[in-house]
Structure 1
Amino acid sequence: MSSMDDRPMEIDFDRDPVPNTFGNGPHKCVGSPLARAEIQVFLEEWLKALPDFRPDPERPPVTHSGSVNGVDSLNLVWNV
């Protein structure tokens, strides 16, 4: 089994689980289903209000990994 540190950008279904934003095991947040539902509704409604867009193929996203993975920049092309 691999750790999260040696190949963070690869999918490894045998990787040991790590805690996430809502915790794991006995310390898992009891409100996580509600929080996930709220995030989903927000994104659905927000995206309806925006013009169509797509990632800019000439400027790929810049990401980082570590204790928290993230996107540093995501350039978009707006279809307006």
Structure 2
Amino acid sequence: MPDQAERLRELVRHWELRRKQTRRTIAVASGKGGVGKTNLTVNLALALKEEGRSVTLLDADLGLANVDVVLGIPTTYTLAHVTRQEKNWQK
């Protein structure tokens, strides 16, 4: 007969497996520009990645998107390409 601790360990293993398989969405928004949304979002994405999590970072600001600038990477496509169905965001 398994003891209580074994059942608890089984529940924890099951919970950890489900947690790894669960996708979550975090949205960062503000009605005002210049309050640090991009810096917060980039640092949050980097911290989650360091924990080994899979991260997709999407800057939905159609006019002033600048995650690429903060990360120092060139941008080939924007959200506008996706909304016009010129690019699939999953590829």
TM range (shorter): under 0.3
Highest CA radius of gyration, 1 or 2? 2
Q: Normalised by the size of structure 1, how large is the TM-score?
A: 0.28
Q: Normalised by the size of structure 2, how large is the TM-score?
A: 0.25
> Which protein has the bigger strand share?
1
